[in-house]
């Protein structure tokens, strides 16, 4: 860029030490403080975003800061190759920093869904910003070198630099993140860089030859950042950040549901249509309880069917049984299974379970699929969303369980996630009674999952042979032991069995119970 | 609560919409309905009307023979054909004017769903209706019997919950009986009416037979009940002091729903029969439940058709019938090939509406058929709308049957109700039912036949807008079907006057009659019953001859 600009005016004209205007050098020192603040803010934004989006804040902050500082070093080194109209280079640089740094947070937020390249994009942006910021101070020092004695120059520039750094480190956590959020903070500081460019452009007479062209560029860039700033809320609303307590790091609407992932320093949470599906902090309790009471009692089990459970967390538990030869997972939504097959953060959580060669992932509507399937399974794990509407209610009906029971191999058994026996007591027992109504022997049990509360499951099979201490459990479980299984079978009086109707397609009793049970909690 | 004034206003709006028609050619580019695709369907009235002037039909070019010629492939004709097939008389030939058999139980389908073009449900039947229960068991609708002896119906055929909702002033309540904003008097009248129905369900005449039942020929002859056939349902309700507006709306709705006629047009016996004859019982359902399929009762008639292998010709008009020394001779016109065939048969079953039978027997003496025009058949408009998204108001969610209090149409059913897939926001098909009862059936029918698609569409869309404001832009396709003779209405005196029973008396063991017109009530059970009755009459003559 700017090859022709370099030729427009001889160097001697713009670097005129003989008539230093008293104001501009002071102005440039203020600019030092501003650009230093901006530079540190970008670094903080990158670090915060990386730990929001990727977790493990110590590692993320440490590597981001390292990469950023290293990139600044590269920038400083590159500064020696900039010659000629230094002020002009500086203005260019400020415009670039303003655009790249300002857009960093929005770009990273919006691109997180394309997770495969996210780290690359993150470090590219961090590197680019670092290089540009690294160019700033050396360039400024060279612009000012003839206006101050060297010792004054160094003292003043670094004083303002560190003042800016202090300012940034204080206002970032105390004012900016709480008041503006990351996206607007990023945009605001991009605008400050542009403002520095604008002020320098206006106040230094030697910029006159290219003033108009640069002014246009600055105005356009400012306008772009301004529009993003104004619509940042819409951008955020799009990612539903406002509806969730924690930072939304992923959100996507599929034809079936809205998938939202949030994270805070402690945990990652998955929401489907606003309903919490798991928290990474305690999902092991849920998934161990879902899988192991069933599997430990089936020493001959080879083939397993999982309905729902597109997060692969139940499959992760299943893969702890090396005797299993085939696990077939049927989940309605390719949006879910693809997310949990490709997102590195989530692959860490499900231990890449859905990529195991033993696992076959099918995206199909479970009801029709089960009616058409001809295979038999030793274990069936049913992990559907709660029966909150009439469409899902059909997947908890006696007719569905009849079709499902036909898929059990001799001696096979199933387990059904059955909502909360404490918060939705009628619903829980309705599921148990519906399974019993199709001729299955049922074993209801429950446990405490901190992020959910009391949660319940129903084991069901053709006979009464199930035992909680039947076989060895896999090593390394954090919740399930034979003693825990024994405890889970006991229902205290406030969760004990209540009479209910059987859930049928033509009465949808369960959806009605569920509305009654949850009614007090949602209104 | 709906007031008379809002009702008038809405009616006024509908009328205004109708008057705008000439100026608003619906599908013209730029009109708000330009994005809606579709066309007008209906029975082939033009071919049917050839009957009025058979001289335009070419002379027969060939002759075929059969034992029993069945004219008419509706429920009665198909039921008779099946019954004859199973009981020693497979040598039949059924001819049907339309391109499909099944009569009013027609159906269509598109990429989204199958949908009904007419009859679309069967109430859980009376357990004593042996023939019907056996049929339902053969086709998998009835899956077995509980130890109590009660039938168990397939969960996939019983209408899935939520079944019915009613929109009152923009709010959807559960069930079709108005429950919102009723005064104490209104509530008392509803309670009194339903108590009356419970009593009538249990009531028996002095002859020991039930006061109300299906088929209605099995009902008591006791004059205490039959005299209710002499007065209109509306007069009866006034006499019995059932005056609450909401109750009257509900009962009028019921009459329009089952008979295509208003409470003023049908007899009190028929009005009460709608409720008091619903005595179905099942192990896993109640008499209030219904069996339904995406394609409606086309599911039933397709099975009826498949359960016999005798030849069957659609697109064929029977236009002349005369007696011969050995039986009967009929002339058939094939609409597709434009050729005529002579059929020699030992016997003929006229499973057509009475006015068709009357024309066919123009030269045949001795019948007691009612002349054309004697029976009231209201024209119907059915609209199948493919909608992508349906803006919902407050209250209950989309149900199988969705009705608005005071609406001109009967509301719509959700053809995708029985779907097992998860709701994915993709399109669904809804079927709007609209009996055209505002004027006498003759003029209404003529007007209906003359109305074009571009004229119907704004009316249909305006009606649906009263259910779901803003729905127009969600409508992708709107196909319409006009039934000229929708269904017979049990007008006062029809059911228990002497003429109805006399009309279906066989002629000289050669000509037999079966159709819901001979019941006076057009429901699947009656068509099925009429078909089997006539088939038994035919079989009885065969056994008496042999």
Residue A115's pLDDT is what?
52
What stretch of H or E contains A404? helix A398-405
pLDDT at B516 over 60: yes
Question: Which residue of B123, B154, B155 is the best one to mutate when testing the A interface, meaning the one whose CB has the most A CBs within 10 A?
Answer: B155
Whole-number pLDDT of residue B486: 82
**Residue among B486, B513, B483 at smallest CA distance from B501:** B513
> Residue B72 is part of which domain span?
46-105+297-374+495-545
Same topology, domains A21-231 and A282-522? Answer is no
Q: What percent of chain B has pLDDT over 70?
A: 93
* B336 and A CB contact within 8 Å: no
pLDDT above 70 as % of chain A: 90
Q: Identify the CA nearest to A121 among candidates A108, A136, A132, A102.
A: A108
What is the per-residue pLDDT across B452-510, written as a single tens digit (0 to 9) for each? 999 999 999 999 999 999 999 999 999 999 998 888 999 999 999 999 999 999 999 99
Of residues A134 and B23, the one with the higher pLDDT is: A134
CB A52 within 8 A of CB A249: yes
Residues B220 and B268 in one domain: yes
Structure tokens at B284: 């896993």
Query: What is the b/e burial string over A128-160, where b = at least 16 CB atoms within 10 angstroms of the residue's CB?
Result: bbbbbbbbbbbbbbbbbeebbeeeebeebbeeb
Give the closest-approach CA distance of A325 to chain B in angstroms. 29
The number of distinct structural domains making up chain B is: 2
The answer to whether the CB of B440 falls within 8 A of the CB of B491 is: no
Residue where a domain terminates, one of B290, B321, B352: B290
Contact B482, B37 (CB under 8 A): no
Task: Tell me if B419 is assigned to some domain.
Answer: no
Could you give the CA distance from residue A89 to residue A75 in angstroms, rounded to a whole number? 13
Q: Give the span between the Cα atoms of A414 and B174, in whole angstroms.
A: 35
For residue B177 the two structure tokens come to 């009986």
What's the pLDDT at A218? 93
* Euclidean distance between CA atoms A10 and A398, whole angstroms: 88
C-alpha to C-alpha distance for A357 and B376, rounded to whole angstroms: 70
Nearest one of A440, A438, A380, A418 to A497, comparing CA atoms? A418
> Residue A472 has what DSSP assignment?
P
| Paired tokens of B152 | 């168990």
Residues B279 and B327 in one domain: no
SS3 B268: helix
CB contact burial B394-409 (16+ within 10 A = b; e otherwise): eebebbbbbbbbbbbb
What pLDDT score does A236 carry? 62
DSSP secondary structure letters along A45-86 = HHHHHHHHHH--HHHHHHHHHHHHHHHHHHHHHHGGG--S-H
In this complex, the residue of B155, B159, B422 whose CB is nearest that of residue A392 is: B422
Neighbours of A119 (CB within 10 A): 14
Do the Cβ atoms of B161 and A371 come within 8 Å?
no
Q: E strand or H helix at A223, and its extent?
A: helix A208-230
Q: Which pair of structure tokens corresponds to residue A183? A: 């996206």
Residues forming beta bridges with residue B290, ordered by sequence position: B123
Domain termination residue (choose one: B231, B259, B290): B290
Which stretches does DSSP call E strand in A264-392? 268-272, 275-279, 303-308, 326-331, 359-363, 377-383
Residue A263 is predicted with a pLDDT of 84
Q: Compute CA distances B26 → B32, B33, B458, B459, whole Å.
A: 8, 6, 6, 10
Which positions 494-513 of A are in contact with B (Cβ < 8 Å)?
A: 504-508, 511
- Scan residues 323-362 of A and list those with Cβ closer than 8 Å to B: 332
Provide the CA A121 distance to its chain's centre, in angstroms.
16
Residue B515 pLDDT greater than 90, yes or no: yes
The closest CB to that of A399, out of B156, B163, B285, belongs to B156
Per-residue three-class SS string for B113-168: CEEECCCCEEECCCCCCHHHHHHHHHCCCEEEECCCCCEEECCCCECCCCCEEEEE
Best CA proximity match to A269, nearest among A391, A108, A450: A450
- Please give the Cα distance from A106 to A185 (Å, whole number): 10
Q: Kindly state whether residues B59 and B208 are assigned to the same domain.
A: no
Task: Give Cα A96 to chain centroid, integer Å.
Answer: 29
ipTM of predicted complex: 0.83
Residue B63 has pLDDT above 80, yes or no: yes
**B369 and B499 assigned to the same domain:** yes
For Cα atoms A163, A168, A170, give the angle at the middle one, nearest 5 degrees.
100
Neighbours of A518 (CB within 10 A): 17
Kind of pairing, strands A326-331 and A303-308?
parallel
Structural domain includes residue B153: no
The answer, yes or no, to whether residue A493 has pLDDT greater than 90, is yes
Residue B51 in this model has a pLDDT that exceeds 80: no
Same domain for B347 and B323: yes
Catalytic positions of A: 383
Classify residue B523: in a domain, yes or no.
yes
Residue B285 at interface with chain A, using a CB cutoff of 8 Å: yes
Query: What tokens does B504 get?
Result: 């279906």
Rg (CA), chain A: 31
Q: Residue A52 pLDDT more than 80?
A: no
Task: State the Cα–Cα distance between residues A455 and A278, nearest whole angstrom.
Answer: 12
**CATH number of the domain where residue B286 is located:** 1.10.405
Q: Which of A283-297, A334-348, B15-29, B258-272 has the lowest mean pLDDT?
A: B15-29
More confident residue, A380 or A86: A380
**Dihedrals φ, ψ of A441, to 5°?**
-85, 130
Average pLDDT over residues B222-227: 96
Please say whether the beta carbons of A34 and A133 come within 8 A: no
Prediction pTM value: 0.76
For residue B22, the model assigns a pLDDT of 37
Is residue B377 scored above 60 in pLDDT? yes
Q: Count Cβ–Cβ pairs < 8 Å, chain A vs chain B.
A: 58
pLDDT tens, residue by residue, B128-174:
999 999 999 999 999 999 999 999 999 999 999 999 999 998 899 99
Q: Is A365 annotated as a binding residue?
A: yes
Is residue B401 less than 8 Å (CB to CB) from chain A?
no
For residue B79, being part of any structural domain is answered with yes
Instruction: Say what the pLDDT of residue A250 is.
Output: 81
B484 in contact with A, Cβ within 8 Å: no
- The separation between CA B501 and the C-alpha centre of its own chain, rounded to angstroms, equals 21
Q: Can you give the residue ranges of every domain in chain A? A: 21-231, 239-275, 282-522
Give mean pLDDT, residues A218-239: 82
User: Are residues B284 and B302 part of one domain?
Assistant: no
Instruction: Flag whether pLDDT at A405 surpasses 60.
Output: yes
The alpha carbon dihedral of A53, A57, A59, A61 has a sign of positive
Average pLDDT over residues A448-454: 94
Q: What is the pLDDT of residue A114?
A: 56
Quote the CATH superfamily of domain A282-522.
Answer: Vaccinia Virus protein VP39 (3.40.50.150)
Whether residue B232 is contained in a domain is answered as yes
Question: Taking all residues of chain B, what is their mean pLDDT, rounded to a whole number?
Answer: 90
Same domain, B229 and B301: no
Contact B531, B514 (CB under 8 A): yes
User: What's the half-sphere exposure (Cβ side, CA atoms, 13 Å) at B314?
Assistant: 12
Tell me the pLDDT band of B441, cut-offs 50, 70 and 90.
confident
Of A255, A391, A507, nearest to B426 by CB-CB distance is A255
> Per 3-state DSSP, what percentage of chain B is helix, strand, and coil (rounded to 5)?
35, 25, 40
Query: What pLDDT, on the 0 to 100 scale, is given for residue A495?
Result: 96
Report the pLDDT value the prediction gives residue B28, as an integer from 0 to 100. Answer: 57
Triad B404, B406, B410: Cα angle to 5°: 60
Q: Mind listing the pLDDT tens digit for each residue in A248-262?
A: 778 777 777 778 888
Shared-domain flag, residues B95 and B225: no
pLDDT of residue A160: 87
Report whether A366 belongs to an annotated binding site: yes
pLDDT of A121 higher than 50 = yes
Residues B227 and B248 grouped into a single domain: yes
**By three-state DSSP, how is residue A470 classified?**
coil
Same domain for B272 and B191, yes or no, is yes
Residues B365 and B506 placed together within one structural domain of the fold: yes
pLDDT tens-digit readout, A90-118: 999 999 999 999 998 888 877 766 555 67
CATH topology of domain A21-231: Growth Hormone; Chain: A; (1.20.1250)
Nearest CA among B51, B71, B50 for reference residue B329: B71
Domain presence at residue B506: yes
Residues B321, B238, single domain; the answer is no
């Amino acid at each position: 860029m700017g090859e022709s600009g370099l030729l427009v005016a001889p160097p001697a004209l713009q670097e005129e030490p003989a008539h230093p205007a008293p104001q501009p050098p002071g102005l440039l020192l203020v600019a030092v403080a501003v650009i230093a603040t901006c530079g540190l803010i970008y670094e903080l934004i990158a670090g915060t975003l990386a730990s929001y989006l990727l977790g493990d804040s110590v590692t993320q902050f440490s590597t981001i800061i390292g990469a950023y500082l290293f990139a600044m070093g590269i920038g400083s080194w590159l500064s020696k190759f900039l010659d000629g109209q230094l002020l002009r280079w500086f203005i260019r640089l400020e415009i670039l920093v303003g655009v790249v740094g300002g857009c960093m947070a929005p770009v990273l937020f919006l691109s997180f869904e394309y997770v495969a390249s996210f780290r690359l994009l993150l470090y590219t942006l961090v590197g680019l910003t670092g290089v540009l910021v690294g160019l700033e101070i050396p360039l400024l020092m060279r612009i000012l070198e003839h206006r101050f004695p060297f010792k004054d120059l160094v003292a003043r520039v670094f004083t303002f630099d560190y003042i800016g750094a202090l300012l940034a480190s204080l206002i970032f956590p105390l004012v900016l993140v709480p008041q503006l959020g990351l996206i607007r903070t990023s945009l605001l500081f991009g605008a400050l860089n542009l403002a520095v460019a604008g002020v320098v452009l206006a106040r230094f007479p030697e910029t006159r030859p290219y003033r108009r062209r640069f002014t246009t560029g600055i105005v356009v860039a400012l306008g772009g950042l301004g529009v993003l700033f104004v619509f940042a809320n819409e951008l955020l609303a799009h990612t539903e950040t406002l509806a969730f307590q924690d930072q939304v790091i992923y959100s996507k609407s599929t034809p079936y549901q809205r998938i939202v992932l949030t994270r805070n320093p402690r945990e990652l949470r998955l929401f489907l249509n606003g309903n919490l599906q798991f928290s990474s902090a305690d999902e092991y309790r849920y998934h161990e309880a879902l899988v192991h009471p069933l599997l430990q009692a089936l020493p001959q089990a080879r083939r397993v069917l999982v309905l729902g459970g597109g997060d692969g967390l139940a499959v992760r538990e299943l893969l702890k049984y090396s005797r299993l030869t085939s696990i077939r997972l049927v989940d309605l939504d390719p949006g879910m299974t693809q997310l949990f097959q490709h997102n590195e953060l989530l692959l860490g959580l499900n231990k890449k379970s859905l990529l195991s060669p033993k696992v076959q992932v099918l995206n199909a509507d479970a009801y029709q699929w089960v009616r058409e399937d001809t295979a038999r399974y030793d274990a069936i794990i049913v992990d559907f969303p709660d029966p909150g509407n009439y469409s899902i209610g059909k997947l908890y009906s006696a007719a569905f369980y009849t079709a499902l029971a036909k898929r059990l191999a001799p001696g096979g058994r199933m387990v059904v996630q059955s909502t909360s026996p404490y918060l939705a007591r009628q619903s829980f027992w309705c599921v148990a009674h519906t399974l019993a109504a199709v001729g299955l022997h049922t074993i209801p049990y429950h446990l405490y999952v901190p992020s959910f509360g009391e949660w319940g499951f129903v084991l069901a099979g053709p006979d009464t042979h199930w035992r909680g201490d039947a076989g060895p459990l896999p090593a390394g479980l954090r919740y399930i032991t034979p003693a825990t299984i024994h405890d889970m079978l006991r229902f205290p009086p406030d969760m004990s069995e209540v009479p209910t109707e059987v859930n049928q397609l033509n009465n949808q009793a369960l959806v009605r119970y569920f509305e009654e049970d949850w009614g007090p909690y949602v209104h | 609560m709906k007031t008379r004034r809002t009702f008038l206003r809405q009616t006024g709006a509908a009328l205004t919409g109708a008057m705008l028609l000439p100026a608003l050619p619906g599908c013209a580019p730029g009109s708000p309905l330009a994005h809606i695709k579709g066309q007008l369907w209906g029975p082939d009235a033009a071919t049917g009307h050839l009957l009025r002037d058979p001289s335009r039909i070419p002379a027969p070019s060939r002759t075929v023979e059969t034992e029993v010629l069945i004219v008419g492939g509706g429920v009665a004709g198909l039921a008779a054909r099946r019954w004859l097939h199973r009981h020693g008389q497979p040598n039949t030939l059924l001819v049907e004017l339309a391109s499909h058999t099944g009569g009013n139980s027609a159906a269509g389908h598109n990429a989204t769903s199958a949908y009904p073009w007419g009859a679309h449900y069967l109430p859980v039947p009376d357990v004593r209706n042996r023939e019907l229960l056996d049929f339902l068991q053969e086709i998998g609708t009835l899956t077995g019997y509980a130890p109590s002896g009660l039938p168990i119906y397939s969960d996939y055929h019983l209408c899935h919950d939520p079944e019915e909702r009613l929109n009152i002033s923009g709010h959807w309540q559960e069930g079709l009986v108005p429950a919102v904003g009723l005064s104490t008097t209104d509530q008392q009248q509803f309670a009194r009416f339903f108590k009356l129905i419970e009593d009538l369900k249990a009531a028996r005449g002095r002859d020991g037979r039930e006061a109300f039942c299906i088929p209605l020929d099995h009902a008591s002859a006791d004059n205490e009940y039959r005299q209710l056939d002499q007065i209109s349902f509306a007069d009866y309700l006034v006499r019995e002091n059932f005056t609450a507006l909401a109750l009257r709306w509900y009962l009028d709705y019921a009459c329009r729903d089952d008979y295509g006629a208003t409470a003023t047009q049908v007899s009190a016996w028929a009005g009460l029969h709608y409720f008091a004859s619903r005595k179905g019982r099942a192990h896993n359902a109640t008499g209030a439940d219904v069996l339904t399929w995406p394609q409606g009762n086309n599911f039933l008639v397709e099975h009826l058709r498949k359960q016999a292998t005798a030849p069957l010709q659609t697109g064929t008009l029977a236009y002349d019938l005369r007696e011969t020394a050995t039986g009967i001779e009929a002339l058939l016109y094939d609409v597709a090939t434009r050729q005529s065939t002579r059929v020699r048969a030992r016997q003929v079953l006229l499973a057509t509406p009475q006015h068709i039978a009357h024309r066919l027997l123009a030269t045949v003496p001795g019948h007691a058929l009612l002349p054309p025009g004697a029976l009231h058949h209201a024209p119907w408009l059915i609209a199948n709308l493919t909608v992508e998204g349906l803006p919902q108001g407050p209250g209950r969610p989309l149900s199988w049957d969705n009705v608005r209090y005071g609406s001109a149409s009967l509301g719509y059913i959700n053809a995708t109700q029985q779907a097992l897939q998860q709701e994915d926001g993709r399109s669904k098909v809804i079927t709007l039912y609209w009996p055209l009862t505002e004027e006498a059936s003759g003029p209404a029918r003529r007007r209906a036949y003359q109305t074009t698609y571009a004229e119907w569409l704004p009316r249909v869309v305006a009606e649906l807008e009263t259910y779901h404001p803003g729905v127009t832009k969600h409508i992708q396709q709107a196909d319409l079907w006009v039934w000229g003779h929708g269904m017979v209405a049990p007008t006062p005196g029809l059911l228990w006057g002497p003429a109805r029973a006399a009309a279906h008396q066989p002629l000289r063991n050669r000509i037999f009659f079966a159709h819901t017109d001979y019941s006076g009530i057009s429901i699947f059970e009656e068509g099925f019953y009429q078909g089997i009755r006539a088939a038994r009459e035919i079989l009885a003559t065969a056994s008496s001859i042999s």
